[in-house]
Structure 1
Amino acid sequence: MTLTEMRPSGAPPVPPGTDPETAAVVEALYTDGIAALKGAFSRDWAAQMGEDIETAFAEARSRENGAVGRGPNRYYVEIHPEQLRGFVDLVDHPWVRSVATAVLGPEYEIVEVGFDIPFAGAMNQPWHRDFPMPDQTRTEGRLTSLAFNLTAVDTTEDMGPFEIAPGTQWDWSEEFDHGMFPPKSMYPRYAERAVRKYPQRGDLSVRSALTIHRGTENRSQLSRPVLVLGLDAPGAGNAEHHDLAVTRDYHAALPQRVRDHLRCPVVDQLTPITQKHTIEGLVMGEP
């Protein structure tokens, strides 16, 4: 096994003037690779988000390539902001804005809105990261993207909770398949570090999508929908893998400080998103 930890030396890059709470989140992202804010939204807000996810999933499944498999009984769907009634509440949340600004800079970009749903019978995913380590992370030790997650349900042990291996956002090896999937010979490293997360409705988390993680076996009879908001530093390049768009009227009604972070097309009419980032290794679940 050939593995290099690209962990940067010195203190995390916290911008001058950052408040202590945000500075602690930056430190957590550079060490553990994940942080959370309990009760960021009301349970009613989370329930409304869950309704929007159900509606979007039904629409996506009604057409070819509307949803992409992420393993047995597990799907990912990318949506447009207008499909989520709480979009502005989310992207304009003070915690989201302050963390994004501190980690990605004041010109951070909103590049992805989507959701994962593991249904009953979903299996353990292979350990993975969501995309290959960017050159800037490997050479400069800087995080250039963030993923914010919100659960639509109260997570329990039998629902296949998210599992993450803290500190592994800096792992790099030429043996990673597609730059994302460590070989099975490295699995003990991640199993030893694995921490399961049990977010409740209204909780908000942020992580580096480079931190090695997986969805686990859903032994319940319930689905576990999770919203994903992806943000980039300028030039990070993840926007090219997504098809975010907003209509002109919707764009005009957005607060200016939200518009400032949308780099997506403004169109007369939305086109349903065809999922195009199938992750080959995730179609195989681990028993």
Structure 2
Amino acid sequence: MSSSETADRLDVSADRETLYRDGIVGRKGAFSREWADAMREDIMTAFWSAIQRQGGAVGRGPRRWYVEIHPQDLRGFVDLVTHPWVTAMCEAVLGPDYQIVEVGFDTPFQGAKNQPWHRDFPSPEDTWRDHRITSLAFNLTGVDVTPEMGPFEIAPGTQWDDGRSWNHEMFPSVESWGRFAERAVRKYPSMGDISCRSALTMHRGTQHGSPIARPVLVLGVDAPGAGHAALHDMMVTPDYFAALPQSVKHHLVCRVVDELVPVVQKHDIEGLVMGAD
């Protein structure tokens, strides 16, 4: 499908239904392998820069890091946020005034361990009580994922779990992990695939035995009022902002600055630092 196609012409009602049922839905071959390879180059360049500065790369467990970047650090950023499936899913789930609040990437290397089952932030009342999804995470892999690469594991349907009694409202007790393990599905995307999920759906990265790193891009999008923009600080330069399509400007939550400075990350998921094992 051409990126020139608009959200109006793309019916994602079935994908929205799958998202509400499972907490995750995917689209195969949304981007070319060449596009995905350029994405991988950009995020690994950003990783080696971030790992050398204080607060640049935040630990998500042994041999696993998360890095936030600015839109213009990613050559394909506009392609991503104007892709017809991405825009259609955002509008169908979050409404026409959705907000792009985060771009970053998670990178496990050989030696990464199983993470504890978790969600990425506490569930808002809109979700645990009213069963309404107010934020989305889009993920794109930088490699063809194999079983040795510590694939992403998710427990479908758990986006509606209350979670208010959990540690930090994100980490259920070890005694309850069996329920998530029973539902668990491991994902093996290929370069060019994209997924859309609620970050409240219980998930974890798994043990990574391959010498090949598994970088995955994360695009965070909110419904108005969801509040996650306060945890991030995307910046763009004036010339970059001026060149953006008006549709992107409408949705992008960012500061326009004369000079980009590295993101100092504000969203540190403390419970992931040590890993599960």
Query: Superposed, which structure 2 residues align to 1:126-137 within 5 Å?
Result: 126-137=116-127
| 1:79 counterpart residue number | 69
Indicate if the aligned counterparts of 2:24 and 2:195 stay in contact, CA closer than 8 A. Answer: yes
How far is 1:138 from its partner? 2.5
- How many residues align structurally? 271
Indicate if the aligned counterparts of 1:126 and 1:284 stay in contact, CA closer than 8 A. Answer: no
| 1:219 counterpart residue number | 209
Indicate if the aligned counterparts of 2:159 and 2:201 stay in contact, CA closer than 8 A. Answer: yes
Indicate if the aligned counterparts of 1:175 and 1:183 stay in contact, CA closer than 8 A. Answer: no
Matched, 1:209 2:195: no
SS at match of 1:157: coil
SS at match of 1:127: coil
How far is 1:286 from its partner? 2.2
Matched, 1:153 2:178: no
| 2:175 counterpart residue number | 185
| 1:274 counterpart residue number | 264
SS at match of 1:90: helix
Q: Which residue among 219, 224, 228 is the counterpart of 1:234? A: 224
Indicate if the aligned counterparts of 2:10 and 2:88 stay in contact, CA closer than 8 A. Answer: no
**1:5-29 C-alpha deviation (Å, 9 max, x unpaired):** xxxxxxxxxxxx9878400111111
Q: Which residue among 74, 82, 89 is the counterpart of 1:99? A: 89
| 1:4 counterpart residue number | none
TM-score normalised by length of structure 1: 0.92
Runs of 4+ in 1 over 2 A off after TM superposition: 17-21
| 1:144 counterpart residue number | 134
Q: Which residue among 239, 248, 251 is the counterpart of 1:261? A: 251
SS at match of 2:196: strand
SS at match of 1:158: coil
How far is 1:219 from its partner? 1.0
Matched, 1:124 2:114: yes
CA RMSD of aligned residues (A): 1.3
Indicate if the aligned counterparts of 1:144 and 1:233 stay in contact, CA closer than 8 A. Answer: yes
Query: Superposed, which structure 2 residues align to 1:105-116 within 5 Å?
Result: 105-116=95-106
**1:71-91 C-alpha deviation (Å, 9 max, x unpaired):** 000000000000000000000
Distance 1:185 1:80 in 2: 39
How far is 1:284 from its partner? 1.8
Which stretch shows the higher mean deviation, 115-124 or 19-28? 19-28
How far is 1:54 from its partner? 1.1
Distance 1:276 1:71 in 2: 17
Letter paired with 1:232? D
| Identical amino acids, percent of aligned pairs | 64
Unaligned 5+ segments in structure 2 are 1-6
Indicate if the aligned counterparts of 2:123 and 2:163 stay in contact, CA closer than 8 A. Answer: no
Distance 1:18 1:51 in 2: 32
| 2:3 counterpart residue number | none
Distance 2:56 2:161 in 1: 33
TM-score normalised by length of structure 2: 0.95
